[in-house]
Amino acid sequence: MIELNCQSDLWTKSHQAFVLKQAQKVATHLNLTGEISFLLTDDATIQKLNKDYRGKDKPTNVLSFETEDAEMLGDVVLAFETIERESAQEKSFEHHLTHLIAHGILHLIGYDHIEDSEAEIMEAKEDEILDQIF
């Protein structure tokens, strides 16, 4: 189950529907059964969260907060301005957003990219998901 909370007017109703649809596709692809909460926010809010929880005083595109609860996998936070800025450099907003949705969900189920070997595994899983969705 996907729960969506929108905290910024930058995220239109169409963006919100897209996040919900893509998150459901990723969760289905991964055979997930727990609840995932998405917070759609702005750079100022994600910068505060990034500083408070990771000690990094700057905005980021996505943050994930996993839980120990099998029924509630965790929270994924997405920052509109950073995603928009990054997507202008590389790919469409929708494609980049979908990548970050998958990235955030993968963090909730134990994937990481701190070590190079972990990053390779996580990137391969992201590619698999994106190939399935697009």
**pLDDT tens readout for residues 60-86:** 999 999 998 878 999 999 999 999 999
Percent of the chain with pLDDT over 70: 100
Q: Does position 122 have pLDDT exceeding 90, yes or no?
A: yes
The predicted structure's pLDDT at residue 6 = 97
The predicted structure's pLDDT at residue 28 = 96
Fold held by 2-133 = Collagenase (Catalytic Domain) (3.40.390)
Task: Quote the radius of gyration of the chain (alpha carbons, Å).
Answer: 14
The predicted structure's pLDDT at residue 118 = 92
The predicted structure's pLDDT at residue 88 = 85
pTM: predicted TM-score of the whole model, two decimal places: 0.94
The predicted structure's pLDDT at residue 24 = 97
The predicted structure's pLDDT at residue 114 = 86
What tokens were used for 68? 């120990």
The predicted structure's pLDDT at residue 80 = 98
The predicted structure's pLDDT at residue 127 = 95
Q: Which of 2, 22, 52 is nearest to 134 (CA)?
A: 22
